[in-house]
C-alpha cells in the first residue's frame, strides 16, 4: 500500500505555466482576434508615420472626393483624407478604451480587494459607493464634467472609467469573498505572511482570471462610449476620432454614402475582435466547454479480462432480490472513456442488509447509482446486467425507472441537508410524493407522514412536520429523509454513506433506526460506506470494491474473520487498532491532570 508515494507518471493536463498567450494563439477564435488586434494596435502606434496625408490638412478640390485619385478612401466634407484621419483616430480610440479600463480596474480592483478581504465597515462603505455610482446616469455626469473641465477626451474617459469601476468592484469583491475562507489563506497567515503580502500573492492570483476577462469587455465598452460621446459632438474637435467621423458621415450621408462606412467598420471590427478575444479568454481561463471534447470516439470496450471475485459462500436460500452481474460504468473523456466500474457484482437477498465498502474512487457509489438509474450526467452502464426481482433494469427508460424508484426502490443520500428543499416545510416535502406517487388524498397523506415521522423516532412529529429544513439538526434531517424513503414500503433501500456527515453519537442512532426499520418492514438495505465499523454494526453481508471491481464478498462474519483478498487485508490492517499511546516519559498520571479544570 505505497500509493501515497506513487505519483502519476504523466498527467495529460496542460503544462501549468505554458503561458496564457500561447494557449490563446492556439484557440481558433483567440488566435485570429489576437493577431488582428495586434495589427490594430500597430496601426495606432505607427499612424503618424504611416498616414499618407496630414489628417487635418484641407484640400478644397477633394471635398467629398470619390475613393482613389490621391485619397485612397476619398475626402470628407472639409476635403481631408479619410484614410489618414481613420488611421490617426485609431490611436485616440484605443487609448480612450484603455484609459477607461485602466481607471476602472485600478479603482474597482483595489476597492474590491480591500473591501472583500477586510470586510466590516469598509465593506459597507464599498457597497454604498457602488450602489451610488451605478445609479448615476453616466452620460449626464460626463456632460456635466465636460462643462467644468472643458472638452478633454482624457478627462472624460477617466471619469467614465470611474463610473464603470463598480463592475470590477463586484467581480473582485465576490472572488475575494470566495477565497478568503479558503484554508490556504489561513495557512499563509500561519506561515507568517502579512496581510499586504497575502493580498498581493494569494488573493490577487484568484481574481486575475475574472479581471482579465472583464477587461476585454470594458475596453470595447470604453471605445464605444467614446465614439458615442464624439458622435454627439461633445468630444475634443481638435483630435480626429472615429466618433467624430461617424458624426460627419452621418450628417452628409446624402452627399457621400461611404463616409459613414469607414469609421463604422473600424469601430465594429475592433469591438468584435475584443469580444471574441473575451470569449477565447473565458474558454482558456475557465476550461473548455463540453462541446469541444466530444469528437470521434471509438465505442467502449473492456480493458482486459474480468478479475475473479473471492466469494465466501454461505448465501441464504431462495431467489435473490437484486442481482448485479459484470456491471461496467463509463464516462466519456477526452480520449475515449473513463471506466469507473469495471466489474460490479452484487447479490442482495430479501430482508438482508448488504454493505458495499471501498475507498474513494472504488466505484461503490457508481454501482449503487446504476441500480437506481441515477448516474451523474454522462455516466452510462456500458456492460452487464442489473436484475431486480426478476426484471432487467439496464436499458429501461427514465419513466419506467421513475415508477420503480418512487415505490419499490428507495434512496437515502449522504448529505441530508442538501437533499431537502430549504423553501418548503418538511410536511410539504413528505406529503408530495405520497399524493403524486401513491395517490393518497391530502388528509390521508398528512396522517401517513405524521405516522412515518413517529416511526423514525422523531420526538415531536407535529412540530417537525411544520418545520423548515434549516430548523432541523443533521440527524433529524436524515431521519426525515429516511421517513420519506420508507413511505412507500420499498423492497430495497439504497443508502449512500447515510451517516458519514453525522456525528458518531447521531450515527449510532441512525444505524439503530435503519436496523429497526429493516426488521419492521422486511426490506433489503444496500448500504454504501467506507466505514468498517458501520458494516460490522449493521450488515449481514458485505462486498469489498477496489478500483471498480468487487474483489471479495461474503457474510460479514466470514469476511471480517478471514479476509482473503490482499486488498481487503490491507484495509483491515489500516484500521486504527486502538492501542493507546503510553504517557510521555516523566509525566505521571496524577500530574497529567495538573492544570486541566473539569467543567
Angle formed at CA 117 by CA 113 and CA 120, multiple of 5 degrees: 115
Is residue 124 within the footprint of another protein (CB under 8 A)? no
| CB 455 to another protein: min, Å | 19
Work out which of 21, 50, 205, 253 binds another protein, going by CB under 8 A.
Answer: 205
Note whether 504 binds another protein by CB under 8 A: yes
Beta-carbon contacts of residue 67 (< 8 Å; ≥ 6 apart): 73, 74, 258
Binding to another protein by residue 572, rule CB under 8 A? yes
Helix, strand, coil % over all residues of the chain, rounded to 5: 55, 15, 35
| CA-to-CA dists, residue 112 to 105, 290, 444, angstroms | 10, 32, 55
Among 94, 381, 511, 528, binds another protein (CB under 8 A): 511
Question: Looking at residue 201, what DSSP letter applies?
Answer: I
Residue list 478-497, contact with another protein (CB under 8 A): none
Beta bridge partners of 493: 410, 525
Contact 550, 543 (CB under 8 A): yes
User: Judged by CB under 8 A, which of 31, 228, 302, 533 binds another protein?
Assistant: 533
Q: H/E/C letters for each residue in 219-238?
A: HHHHHHHHHHHHHCCCCCCC
Of these, 61, 377, 470, 597, which contacts another protein (CB under 8 A)? 597
Nearer to another protein, 155 or 560 (CB): 560
The residue count for the chain = 599
What residues contact residue 101 under an 8 Å CB cut-off, 6+ apart?
Answer: 161, 215, 218, 219, 222
Q: Does 196 bind another protein (CB under 8 A)?
A: no
**Cβ atoms of residues 368 and 526 within 8 Å:** yes
DSSP 24-52: HHHSHHHHHHHHHHHHHHHHHHHHHHH-S
Closer residue to another protein, CB minimum distance, 209 or 269: 209
**Cβ distance to another protein smaller for residue 18 or 39:** 18
Closest CB 232 distance from another protein, rounded Å: 44
What burial letters (b/e) apply to 470-495, b meaning 16+ CB within 10 Å? eebebbbbbbbbbbbbbbbebbbbbb
Residues in region 344-383 near another protein by CB under 8 A: 359-360
Least distance to another protein, CB of residue 510, Å: 11
Q: Which is nearer to another protein, 355 or 413 (CB)?
A: 355
Give 298 or 504: the residue with its C-beta nearer to another protein.
504
Among 11, 289, 397, 423, binds another protein (CB under 8 A): 11
Q: How far is the CB of 545 from another protein (least distance, A)?
A: 12
Residues in contact with another protein, total (CB under 8 A)? 71
Site residues for another protein, 152-191, by CB under 8 A, read 182-184, 186-191
Nearer to another protein, 206 or 374 (CB): 206
Q: Is the dihedral of CA 277, 278, 279, 281 positive or negative?
A: positive
- Kindly tell me which of 66 and 519 has the beta carbon lying closer to another protein: 519
Residue placing its CB nearer to another protein in the complex, 156 or 546: 546
Work out which of 248, 537, 548, 563 binds another protein, going by CB under 8 A: 537
Q: Which stretch binds another protein (CB under 8 A): 137-145, 160-168, 227-235, 584-592?
A: 584-592
Beta bridge partners of 524: 492
Considering only 20-28, 388-396, 423-431, 583-591, which stretch makes contact with another protein by CB under 8 A? 583-591
Within 51-119, residue ranges assigned H as helices are 82-118
Q: Which of residues 425-454 bind another protein (CB under 8 A)?
A: none
> Which one-letter DSSP state was computed for residue 151?
S
54-62, 140-148, 230-238, 553-561 -> range binding another protein (CB under 8 A) = 553-561
Q: Which is nearer to another protein, 41 or 474 (CB)?
A: 474
* Closest by CA position to 89, among listed 146, 33, 48: 48
**What does the radius of gyration of the chain's CA atoms come to, in whole angstroms?**
35
Q: Is residue 120 at the binding interface for another protein, with CB under 8 A as the rule?
A: no
Which member of 84, 165, 367, 507 binds another protein (CB under 8 A)?
507
User: Would you say the C-alpha torsion 248, 60, 74, 93 has a positive or negative sign?
Assistant: negative
- Subset of residues 512 to 531 that bind another protein, contact rule: CB under 8 A: 512, 530-531
Tell me the closest approach of the beta carbon of residue 552 to another protein, in angstroms: 15
Beta bridge partners of 549: 343, 546
- By CB under 8 A, what part of segment 246-305 binds another protein? none
The residue (of 6 and 61) whose beta carbon lies closer to another protein is: 6
**Would you say 40 and 94 are in contact if contact means Cβ atoms under 8 Å apart?**
yes
Amino acid at each position: 500500500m505505497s500509493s501515497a508515494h506513487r505519483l502519476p507518471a504523466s498527467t495529460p493536463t496542460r503544462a501549468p505555466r505554458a503561458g496564457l498567450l500561447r494557449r490563446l494563439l492556439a484557440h481558433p477564435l483567440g488566435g485570429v482576434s489576437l493577431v488582428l488586434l495586434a495589427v490594430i494596435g500597430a496601426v495606432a502606434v505607427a499612424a503618424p508615420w504611416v498616414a499618407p496625408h496630414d489628417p487635418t490638412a484641407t484640400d478644397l478640390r477633394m471635398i467629398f472626393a470619390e475613393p482613389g485619385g490621391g485619397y485612397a478612401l476619398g475626402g470628407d466634407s472639409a476635403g481631408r483624407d479619410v484614410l489618414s484621419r481613420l488611421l490617426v483616430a485609431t490611436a485616440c480610440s484605443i487609448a480612450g478604451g484603455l484609459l477607461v479600463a485602466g481607471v476602472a480596474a485600478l479603482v474597482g480592483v483595489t476597492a474590491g480587494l480591500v473591501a472583500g478581504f477586510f470586510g466590516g465597515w469598509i465593506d459597507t462603505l464599498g457597497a454604498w459607493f457602488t450602489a451610488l455610482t451605478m445609479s448615476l446616469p453616466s452620460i449626464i455626469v460626463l456632460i456635466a464634467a465636460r462643462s467644468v473641465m472643458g472638452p478633454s477626451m482624457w478627462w472624460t474617459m477617466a471619469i467614465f472609467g470611474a463610473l464603470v469601476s463598480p463592475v470590477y468592484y463586484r467581480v473582485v469583491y465576490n472572488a475575494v469573498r470566495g477565497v478568503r475562507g479558503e484554508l490556504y489563506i489561513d495557512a499563509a497567515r500561519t506561515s507568517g505572511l502579512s496581510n499586504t503580502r497575502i493580498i498581493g500573492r494569494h488573493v490577487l492570483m484568484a481574481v486575475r482570471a475574472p479581471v482579465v476577462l472583464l477587461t476585454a469587455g470594458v475596453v470595447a465598452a470604453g471605445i464605444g462610449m467614446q465614439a458615442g460621446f464624439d458622435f454627439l459632438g461633445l468630444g475634443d474637435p481638435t483630435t480626429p476620432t472615429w466618433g467624430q467621423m461617424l458624426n460627419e458621415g452621418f450628417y452628409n450621408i446624402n452627399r457621400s454614402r461611404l463616409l459613414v462606412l469607414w469609421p463604422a467598420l473600424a469601430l465594429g471590427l475592433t469591438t468584435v475582435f475584443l469580444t471574441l478575444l473575451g470569449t477565447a479568454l473565458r474558454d482558456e481561463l475557465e476550461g473548455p466547454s463540453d462541446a469541444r471534447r466530444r469528437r470521434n470516439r471509438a465505442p467502449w470496450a473492456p480493458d482486459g479480462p474480468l478479475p475473479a471475485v473471492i466469494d465466501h459462500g454461505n448465501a441464504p436460500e431462495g431467489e435473490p432480490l437484486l442481482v448485479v452481474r459484470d456491471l461496467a460504468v463509463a464516462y466519456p473523456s477526452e480520449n475515449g472513456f473513463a471506466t469507473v466500474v469495471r466489474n460490479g457484482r452484487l447479490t442482495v437477498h430479501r430482508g438482508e442488509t448488504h454493505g458495499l465498502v471501498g475507498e474513494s474512487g472504488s466505484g461503490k457509489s457508481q454501482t449503487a447509482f446504476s441500480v437506481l438509474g441515477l448516474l451523474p450526467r454522462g455516466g452510462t452502464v456500458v456492460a452487464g446486467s442489473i436484475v431486480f426481482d426478476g426484471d432487467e433494469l439496464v436499458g429501461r427508460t427514465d419513466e419506467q425507472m421513475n415508477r420503480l424508484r418512487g415505490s419499490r426502490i428507495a434512496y437515502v443520500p449522504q448529505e441530508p441537508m442538501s437533499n431537502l428543499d430549504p423553501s418548503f416545510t418538511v410536511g410539504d416535502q413528505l406529503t408530495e410524493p405520497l399524493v403524486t406517487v401513491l395517490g393518497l388524498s391530502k388528509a390521508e397523506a398528512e396522517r401517513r407522514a405524521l405516522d412515518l415521522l413517529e416511526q423514525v423516532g422523531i420526538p415531536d412529529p407535529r412540530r417537525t412536520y411544520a418545520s423548515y429544513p434549516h430548523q432541523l439538526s443533521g440527524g433529524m434531517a436524515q431521519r426525515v429523509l429516511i421517513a420519506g424513503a420508507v413511505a412507500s414500503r420499498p423492497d430495497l433501500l439504497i443508502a449512500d454513506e447515510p451517516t458519514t456527515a453525522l456525528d458518531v453519537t447521531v450515527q449510532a442512532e441512525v444505524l439503530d433506526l435503519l436496523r429497526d426499520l429493516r426488521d419492521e418492514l422486511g426490506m433489503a438495505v444496500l448500504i454504501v460506506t467506507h466505514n468498517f465499523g458501520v458494516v460490522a454494526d449493521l450488515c449481514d453481508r458485505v462486498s469489498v470494491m477496489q478500483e471498480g471491481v468487487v474483489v471479495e464478498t461474503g457474510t460479514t462474519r466470514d469476511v471480517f474473520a478471514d479476509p482473503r483478498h490482499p486488498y481487503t487485508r490491507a484495509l483491515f490492517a489500516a484500521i486504527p487498532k486502538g492501542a493507546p499511546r503510553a504517557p510521555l516519559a516523566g509525566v505521571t498520571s496524577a500530574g497529567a491532570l495538573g492544570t486541566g479544570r473539569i467543567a
